Amino acid sequence: MTLPLPHLYSGKVRDIYAVGDHELLMVTSDRLSAFDVVLDEPIKHKGRVLTAISAFWFEVLADIAGSHLVSTDAHDLAPEVLAAEPDLAGRIMLCRRAEMLSIECIVRGYLSGSAWKEYQAHGTMHGQALPAGLRESDQLPEPVFTPSTKSDVHDENISFAQAVDLVGESVATEAREISLALYSRGAELARERGIIIADTKFELGMVDGALVVCDEILTPDSSRFWPVDAWVPGTTPPSFDKQPVRDYLETLDWDKNPPPPPLPPEVVAATSGRYIDAYERITGRSFSMWPGVS
């Protein structure tokens, strides 16, 4: 994608451009990664789903914390930007620039992933003792803030004390309070609608002296989504969104290093459907009404 704006960064999913001195344009693509490898086939409307879900959460959780979001309306962009790329509708976020925290704000409500591995080995999670006898995918007694460092290679789990060393006690404390409140409210709503948010990652930053939520929030990409009806403690529940891709790739003789194998059209279509299903369940809205969907 080439836009007539200064290009700042491209990640696995998002491309970021400068809009003047105080705003950023985040364009969410349909790229999908599995096992940390970006696949060649785009997942139709994935970028719009992530944008739409984030916009929903920014709206309904605004009383807990503000966000960097200014607009998701592509018509708020300059005409020459729209003319350069006809597929921007529904996949953009015009945002205020923020001074990002140097920590990932992770909240875990269930014992899974790297936390489960640590618990198996030491009976702890991020160095904190947990009750004995927990099983994989068990719900924790209460949600826990488990920060990590930020790295382009591999994030490192850290203690709250280490987070304080990185960002200061007052900021770390506020980040923990905001993250726990966002997760608790969001996970409760999602569960009522058939989705367990097992854990999630928030990106927080300072805008005009206030700590706000940035990037995406409580999406299938930033969180571990499980179907409520497939959650069985003691097992690994299926991923809500990427499971068709993971299931297919696990049948192949692939070492999970680039280049990735091609995905069959039916796997691509099934994955797109899962993302859309997640949006419609969580928001109670029809995805067909979101800009750019046809």
Task: Give the model confidence (pLDDT) of 42-70 as tens digits.
Answer: 999 999 999 999 999 999 999 999 999 99
Domain ranges of the chain: 1-97, 99-230
Nearest CA-CA partner of 256 in 245, 270, 266, 271: 245
For residue 1, pLDDT over 80 is answered with no
For residue 191, pLDDT over 90 is answered with yes
For residue 231, pLDDT over 90 is answered with yes
**96-to-17, 51, 138, 156 alpha-carbon distances in Å:** 12, 16, 38, 28
For residue 267, pLDDT over 80 is answered with yes
Do 211 and 178 touch, CB atoms closer than 8 A? yes
pLDDT value at residue 240: 85
The reported pTM is 0.95
For residue 243, pLDDT over 90 is answered with no
Nearest CA-CA partner of 55 in 45, 43, 46, 68: 68
pLDDT value at residue 153: 64
Q: Say how far apart CA 116 and CA 193 lie, in whole Å.
A: 26
Fold (CATH) for 99-230 = D-amino Acid Aminotransferase; Chain A, domain 1 (3.30.470)
For residue 271, pLDDT over 70 is answered with yes
What would the two tokens of residue 202 be?
A: 């928030």
Position 138, amino acid: D
* pLDDT per position as a tens digit, 138-182: 999 999 999 999 876 677 889 999 999 999 999 999 999 999 999
- Could you tell me the CATH superfamily of domain 1-97? Phosphorylase Kinase; domain 1 (3.30.200.20)
pLDDT value at residue 35: 87
For residue 278, pLDDT over 70 is answered with yes
